[in-house]
Amino acid sequence: MTARVKICGVTKAEDALACLEMGADALGFNFYPKSPRHLDLETARDLCAKLPPFGLRVGVFVDSEFEEIMEAVKTVRLDTVQLHGNEPPEIAEDLLESGLRVWKAIRVENMESLIPYEDYPCDALVLDAFDPKTPGGTGKPFDWRILSQWKAPRPWILSGGLNPDNVTEALENLTPSGVDVASGVESAPGKKDPDMVRAFIQNAKRELALV
């Protein structure tokens, strides 16, 4: 199986380049204004202009309108959109029809959290931890045992509270197509720690290769 690792909440060009050099397959750029990792379009555009032509560029949005998302896609040259709010299926369908890759994040509280998204139009699901106050980036994992009887309707990515120390355990017990980390490899919000990024990618790719 091809190992896939997304480093999310990147805010600096030097961090982005380092993540790619260490083997990250995707970089996440957060366009949610309330996030401590938020980027405005000008900053994101300038950052991405310094990147090589490999690695997915994932824009993370929370309840944004279609036009707002498309403006970011065109300005930053995103190829993937991650919907992290309560976006209706129609927005996802419109994004797919525009030729974009779409990932839908689910805040997992229990098995019932997963049911409404079995037919959601997207390329992959991102399973994140539930928090009543924030749509993501909590740094806390959800109870992975919830997934023991779950039959994934499409490829899925494990997120929520992952770090270099627990990603191995996660992948020994679960079979996602990839993993997604933000705060688990940071020295401060939005500042990636190169040693933690390297350890996370090495541990994740080693385990994913065994799946």
Phi, psi (deg, nearest 5) at residue 9: 75, 30
Count of other CB atoms within 10 angstroms of residue 155: 14
Residues in the chain: 211
d(CA 143, CA 3): 23
Those residues whose C-beta lies under 8 Å from the C-beta of residue 42, and which sit 6 or more positions away, are none
Q: Provide the pairing of β-strand 80-83 with 101-108.
A: parallel
Those residues whose C-beta lies under 8 Å from the C-beta of residue 90, and which sit 6 or more positions away, are none
Which residues does the annotation mark as catalytic? 8, 131
Distances (CA, A) of 198 to 124, 129, 160, 168: 25, 23, 18, 14
If DSSP codes are grouped into helix, strand and coil, which group holds residue 125? strand
Q: Which amino acid is at 174?
A: L
Q: How far apart are the first and last CA of the chain?
A: 6
